[in-house]
Amino acid sequence: MKVYLDNAATTPLDPEVIKVMTETMQENYGNPSSIHAHGRQVKTIVEKARKTVAHLLKASPAEIFFTSGGTEADNMAIVRSIMDLGIKHAITSPVEHHAVLHTLEEQEKLGNITLNLVRVDAEGNVDLAHLRELLAENPRTFVSLMHANNEIGNLTDIKNVSQICREFNAVFHSDTVQTMGHYPHDLTDIDIDFITGAGHKFHGPKGVGFLYINAKNKIKPMIYGGAQERNMRGGTENVYGIVGLAKALEISYEQMAEHHAHIQALKEYMKEELQKAIPDVRFNGVTTANNSLYTVLNVSLPCTGIADMLLFSLDIAGVSASGGSACSSGSEIGSHVLQALNCDASRPSVRFSFSKYNTKEDIDFAVKTLKDLCEEK
């Protein structure tokens, strides 16, 4: 048996997404920048996809810019805000995705900003009182705080953060990659400058994402070379990826309530079964339903003897999971998120992440596999 429980890293393509992408590949091969009929036809397809994304987020199509994924979108929001919006100070948290954390750290090394890290508590929650303190000391600040942590699943109330940022005239960016397609985003209800999405996190294709840029912000491109994306991103559009992303997001919104209930039940079931099977099992981060991403469960195990080989042993046994972010899975340093929480380094931790395609049988198999591995050592 093979069980895939690494959906926070990437999700399998929805069959309907494959269908619409395949049809587009077969029938629409023109360059959307070309003025002839073949080009105009594809341009129409791209703009229809843009309107779909904008409609779902309750934004204007003119505020949606397609990118190669969440990392590029994060980089574009950060770097161009610093360069074009007069930003000299930035605030983020020590548990952000490296697409944000490393980008801001590099900007500080270049002398473009000073960077402060807002405190997080032992569970990984952002200290909003400390955020206020930092903002009061530094006018015209760029704030980047993710909606849901990709490793431990903690949710941050970004509407509350946006209100704090507005009090201090700060620019607010949120990496919403893990929540896009899993929670509704109503951009008429939250005053935010930038959010990001990546198609492969909600059963769309890899290599395509988007950046929402609030219309009041005027920034320049990160990539030059053409007038694509309304002069904001040079390069021929990833037409098939864009079509697939829009279809995947549409499906996600249509089925969101049903899939939320299904996946939340799987997460709760796994917590309960692990507690029965493995004495002293613990969970990193917040796991309560209202404050935690329902697709992620980070498990801390008492089986210290298998720490170095846990993920490998799970893989050999047929269970795919992660120790942290897949974007940094080749690192030997360990999870910066768990380090920020001062987790016991002797206890191995593994992130299980779920999708609409997972079943209770998958959970039973994964729990039994973990139990067997712990008992062996």
CATH classification of the domain holding 42? 3.40.640.10
| Judgement on whether residues 250 and 273 belong to the same structural domain of the protein | no
Instruction: Based on the fold, state whether residues 223 and 277 are members of the same structural domain.
Output: no
Q: Is there a catalytic annotation at residue 343? A: no
222-246 b/e with 16+ CB inside 10 Å = b?
beeeeebbeebbeeebbbbbbbbbb
Indicate if 116 and 76 belong to the same structural domain: yes
pLDDT of residue 306: 76
DSSP label of 95: T
Identify the pLDDT of residue 329: 45
Residue 346 has a pLDDT of: 81
For residues 250-273, give the mean pLDDT. Answer: 98
pLDDT, one tens digit per residue, over 194-250 is 999 999 999 999 999 999 999 999 999 999 999 999 999 999 999 999 999 999 999
Whether residue 259 sits in one domain with residue 231 = no
Rounded distance, CA 66 to CA 292, Å? 28
**DSSP conformation letters of 8-39:** TT--PPPHHHHHHHHHHHHH--S-TT--SHHH
Task: Say what the pLDDT of residue 330 is.
Answer: 47
Cα 35 to the center of its chain, rounded Å: 36
Q: What is the pLDDT of residue 134?
A: 97
Return the pLDDT at 333.
61
Do 306 and 249 lie in one domain? The reply is no
> Does residue 34 sit in the same domain as residue 178?
yes
Q: Which of 222, 254, 286 is the last residue of a domain?
A: 254
Assigned domain for 376 exists: no
Q: Which tens digit of pLDDT belongs to each residue from 316-337?
A: 999 999 985 444 444 456 799 9
Domain identity same for 58 and 158: yes
What's the rounded Cα separation, in Å, for the pair 100 and 299?
25
Confirm whether 181 is domain-assigned. yes
In-domain check, residue 266: yes
pLDDT of res. 345: 80
33 lies in the same domain as 148: yes
- Domain count for the chain: 2
Q: Are residues 90 and 238 in the same domain?
A: yes
305 falls in which pLDDT band (50, 70, 90)? confident
Distance CA(263)–CA(268), nearest Å, equals 9
**What is the mean predicted confidence (pLDDT) over 118-124?**
96
| Together in a domain, 108 and 145 | yes
In a domain, 236, yes or no: yes
Please compute the mean of the pLDDT values over residues 335-349 and round it to a whole number: 89
Q: What is the CATH number of the domain that holds 265?
A: 3.90.1150.10
pLDDT (0 to 100) of residue 332: 52
Element (H, E) at 282: strand 282-284
Lowest mean pLDDT among 115-129, 251-265, 335-349: 335-349
Helix-strand-coil split of the chain, %, nearest 5: 45, 15, 40
Which pLDDT score, from 0 to 100, does residue 321 have? 97
Please, which pLDDT band fits residue 342 given cuts at 50, 70 and 90?
Answer: confident
> Do 362 and 261 share a structural domain?
yes
pLDDT(259) > 60: yes
Tell me, what's the pLDDT at 331?
A: 45
Spatial strand order of the sheet with 296-300 comes to: 282-284, 296-300, 349-353
Of these residues, 165, 327, 343, 374, which one is catalytic? 327
Give the lowest-confidence range in 24-33, 230-239, 306-315, 322-331: 322-331
Q: Is the pLDDT of residue 309 over 60?
A: yes
Q: Is residue 377 part of a domain?
A: no
Say if 83 falls within a structural domain. yes
Average pLDDT over residues 137-152: 95
Last residue of a domain, one of 237, 254, 271: 254
161-172 average pLDDT score: 97
Residue 158 lies in a domain: yes
Q: Which residue, 220, 254, 288, sits at the end of a domain?
A: 254
Predicted confidence band of residue 377 (pLDDT cuts 50, 70, 90): low
Question: What's at 100, amino acid-wise?
Answer: V
- Judge whether 107 lies within some domain: yes
Do 71 and 170 belong together in one domain?
yes
Domain that holds residue 350: 3-12+255-370
